[in-house]
Amino acid sequence: MSFASPLFLWFFLPVVLAVLLIVRPSWRNGVVAVASLFFYATGAGGTTFLLIACMVANYLAGARLEPGGTRTDHERRNLLVAVIVFDLAVLVVWKYLGFATEQLHAIASVIGADLPVVHLALPIGISFYTFHHISYVVDVYRGERTALKDPVSFVAYIAMFPQLIAGPIVRFREISDQLPQERTHRLDDIAAGFPRFALGLCKKVIVADSIAPLVDACFATPADRMTFAVAWLGAIGYTLQLYFDFSGYSDMAIGLGRMLGFRLPENFARPYSAVTITEFWRRWHMSLSRWFRDYVYIPLGGNRGGTALTYRNLAIVFVLTGFWHGANWTFLAWGLFHGALLVLERRFGWHSAPDSRSRAIVRRIATVVLVAFGWVFFRSADLGTAWTIIGTMLVPDFAGLPEAVASAATNQRIALLLIAAIVLFLPDHPVTGPFIESSRGRIATTARVSLMTVGVVYSAILIASGTFSPFLYYQF
């Protein structure tokens, strides 16, 4: 079930909100937990058992990981390692086993052997709920938060439908104080969350879905028909499509969380206004960056072990970041590309903010262009396609658009692409989502009213006509 589907918008969400408003406070986490499991099961089907199995294992481990109990530090550490290995094993088997057996099959075929290739259905959201489980057990083990004794509250945290499928990745320390059994829930929460949800809905349905066919046509162009114009149109189009799709999902998730009575962390902060790749990662998918910082980069030593170890740690983090997104060499290449850029910025001191406006403009343009090159790896079906597109982007020609791309480049899509491109030129503040949600100024009020009337109505018309598509991050 997608946030941008008639079933969710016109049946599921209204029913859940109505029930939350009428039940007693002690039942509200139960309503969220049951509704979230139902929401997940409608899309995951039989693989729902994996989510349940992981929740049972991590919940039972949590109470045994708290410091100060009867277990020694050595016993707690062994248990922590065991439960993390279990979580990662589930992720590796269901997400990466098929990819690994494909590589082994290809290698074996060189010597005439025939190894089987395993194909498993990828459970939606598995990368996200795996990271939520690891955050829970690590935060409890460190003594930063106490374990949840109430299993219903635990399920409400892990399976909460706004963030279950595609984030934001909510570290346990960020939400533990919001999970008491008798949680407050008011009409004010719904009133505050709905404009944020409406913003995300408009980003997704009106912008991202509208330019998606154009982007698909560009990336589907055969190598012998790829031109400079097609390559750049595809790269820029996907740079905008992915931002409006994923930031739209995050806005919807944060708005839904607020309507349920929770405050989820921000995930985007004008990333295309960054003047360095380092700053870009402080603004793009911020919840993922924070997770890797707290649970991988800092435990590896961060930047405390000298220059060489800092570079090593950055490389490890971005190899993992790449493969976390998917089992494909293209994601590894994308992660290595960003890791290399971060190392180069540190090596030459480019990670600091520029000292003049003119340099800031130049470096902002350079950052966006480099990010767009990286997105080519991220979007391409294979490395061959990615290298073809990147190579064509570097060699100008005067060829036009092939027929398939030209037919997809309708006036409406080009107009929306140009409107979406305004995000590349906006200042780094204010960030639109929090501004619309919390500001009481005239501009914010006008934006809220417009989103909740014209924006929502137009989005509903597009959804009813069947023009919406799944969120891009559902595949991860």
Give the Cα separation of 101 and 330 in Å (integer).
17
Residue 288 inside a domain? The answer is no
Same-domain check for residues 138 and 216: no
Question: Domain tally for the chain?
Answer: 2
Question: DSSP label at 146?
Answer: P
Model pLDDT, residue 1 = 76
Give the Cα separation of 390 and 371 in Å (integer).
12
> Of 262, 246, 245, nearest to 254 (Cα)?
262
Q: Which amino acid is at 443?
A: I
Contacts of 145 (CB under 8 A, 6+ apart): 139, 172, 173, 176
Say what angle helices 187-202 and 456-464 make with each other, to 10 degrees.
60
Give the Cα separation of 318 and 312 in Å (integer).
10
| 321 contacts 289 by C-beta, under 8 angstroms | no
Tokens 């083990």 correspond to 141
Model pLDDT, residue 357 = 85
Show the DSSP H helices in 121-186 as ranges: 126-141, 151-159, 161-164, 172-175
**Listed residues 133, 156, 185: the one ending a domain:** 185
For residue 461, what are its two tokens?
């018309």
Give the Cα separation of 3 and 466 in Å (integer).
14
Residue 280 inside a domain? The answer is no
**Listed residues 154, 185, 216: the one ending a domain:** 185
Q: Which amino acid is at 29?
A: N
For residue 77, what are its two tokens?
């550490």
Same-domain check for residues 216 and 78: no
Question: Three-class SS of residue 214?
Answer: helix
Q: Which amino acid is at 356?
A: S
| 264 contacts 162 by C-beta, under 8 angstroms | yes
First-to-last alpha carbon distance for the chain, in angstroms, is: 16
Residue 397 inside a domain? The answer is yes
Same-domain check for residues 24 and 124: yes
**Listed residues 129, 158, 185: the one ending a domain:** 185
The residue length of the chain stands at 476
For residue 426, what are its two tokens?
């906006």
Model pLDDT, residue 467 = 66
pTM score, whole prediction: 0.93
Same-domain check for residues 179 and 197: no
Task: Quote the domain boundaries for residue 77.
Answer: 6-185
* CB contact burial 426-438 (16+ within 10 A = b; e otherwise): eeeebbbbbebbe
| 416 contacts 232 by C-beta, under 8 angstroms | no
Same-domain check for residues 259 and 359: yes
Model pLDDT, residue 469 = 75
Task: Report the catalytic residues.
Answer: 325
Tokens 């820029």 correspond to 236
Give the Cα separation of 331 and 388 in Å (integer).
16
Same-domain check for residues 449 and 404: yes
Same-domain check for residues 79 and 153: yes
Same-domain check for residues 177 and 204: no
Provide block-wise average pLDDT over 10 residues at a time, the chain (476 residues).
86 94 90 96 91 96 88 92 96 92 87 84 92 97 94 96 92 92 80 92 93 95 94 97 95 95 94 95 96 95 88 94 92 96 89 81 95 96 95 90 93 94 91 85 86 87 78 75
Model pLDDT, residue 446 = 87
Measured between alpha carbons, how far is residue 467 from residues 4, 142, 210, 243, 472 in Å?
10, 47, 8, 19, 15
Same-domain check for residues 258 and 238: yes
Contacts of 427 (CB under 8 A, 6+ apart): 270, 273
Model pLDDT, residue 305 = 81
Contacts of 40 (CB under 8 A, 6+ apart): 48, 51, 124, 125, 159, 161, 164, 165
